[in-house]
Amino acid sequence: MDYRGSLSEFNNLLQVQNLENTNVEVVASGKTVAPKILTVSQIDLSKHESTLVKIENATIIGGTKLSDSGIKVKDASGEIALFTLAASTFGAQTLPSGAVTITAIVSDFTSGKQLTIRNPSDITGGGPCDVNVATADCDGDGVANAQDCAPLNAAIYPGGPCDDGNAATVNDQYDTQCVCKGGAAGAGFDETFSSQTNNMDIAITGWVNVATKGTRKWQGKLFSGNTYAQATAFNDTAPEMETWLISPVINTTSAGTLSFETAKAFWVHDGLTVWVSANFTWRPIYHQLDKD
């Protein structure tokens, strides 16, 4: 069996890539590693990269949940970035308040040295989230307590989706008082993609998600509490990629406004375009789009 992969750097982070999970052999399990007790200022990348360290009497600052951008571990000697992938099973966990002890792996990245925890139990101490702290986000829904009329219920927040029970209304949302309000029928729609699953192909009733070149379709993505649609050719072996995410019919008999938010990274293609059609049809047998 061939276990070879390549050892390379990604934004200063040394990693093994192109190694299939099925080609990894477990040589031992149940082992423990004793962390090295350090202060933040004592962490030296030339000595401690990939080392498991423990920082005592620290606080976690800079956000409301582990996967927020800008989270840092702070002790009396300084601060260091704490990175948690938003797609991790514990990325949405709210930050503890007060003094904690944190065990984490030291790594290097473009922005400098950082820590990465292995699981939530790597953080001990601290207290539960206090709903009276205005800037905290106790339910992890991306809305600070001061703006969240239900700070302990992640499903209820101003602007969040709901169902007012009236089949004649569409795109119902909670208002600033967390009262579910329905939109007028035929008044268009506001798609937040909040119903989609992270890293899964988007599947919304009435929408068409199709790849006309390559195999990659639009996927639901989650980052820092924000769900969105992403198209990416990362690690795709197809020579070309073209993918379409097509909305349902929109009633334009009355004046309306089209608005959306978009972001880009690793921009090496023709990019995103928006098309409007008055007579769109989708022919799945021939993978053909008719558009004006």
For the stretch 88-123, pLDDT in tens is 889 988 888 788 999 999 998 876 899 999 998 999
For the stretch 179-213, pLDDT in tens is 888 765 555 567 888 889 988 999 987 788 988 88
- Return the H-helix or E-strand segment holding 115: strand 112-116
Distance separating alpha carbons of residues 148 and 68, to the nearest angstrom: 18
Does the CA dihedral 64-67-70-74 come out positive or negative? positive
For the chain, residues classed under CATH 2.40.50.200 are: 6-17+34-127
Query: Which class is domain 6-17+34-127?
Result: mainly beta
For the stretch 40-70, pLDDT in tens is 999 999 999 999 999 999 989 888 789 988 8
Distance separating alpha carbons of residues 241 and 251, to the nearest angstrom: 31
